[in-house]
Amino acid sequence: MQNNYTNDLLELKGENIKITNVYKEGKIRHIYLELEKAEHICPHCGTKTSRVHDYRERIIKHQCSIGYHDIIHYRRRRYICPLFI
């Protein structure tokens, strides 16, 4: 329930969002999140894959809420095409 409340507070959509860490640094709140692992369709060959190639962090500045400036650290996943394995 707390995770859904946090998603509503940040106006994030999706049930598969996982918040891994939150800490405050003065008036800045850092929120670390990632999506749960799932199968995706490869845009190159059209087959389903869940093999992860690597992870990248994307920093998103979110609107100010309750006196804090939010910075979201999104750990995005890059999948690999099954034909190139």
Predicted confidence at residue 1, as pLDDT, reads 39
With CA atoms as reference, report the closest residue to 78 among 49, 61, 60, 54.
Answer: 54
With CA atoms as reference, report the closest residue to 29 among 77, 2, 62.
Answer: 62
List the chain residues with pLDDT less than 70: 1-15, 64-65, 85
> At 3, is the secondary structure helix, strand, or coil?
helix
Q: What are the beta bridge partners of residue 29?
A: 24, 70
Phi-psi region of 46 (alpha: psi -120 to 50; beta: other; left: phi over 0): left
Predicted confidence at residue 12, as pLDDT, reads 65
Q: How many domains does the chain have?
A: 1
The boundaries of the domain holding residue 74 are: 2-84
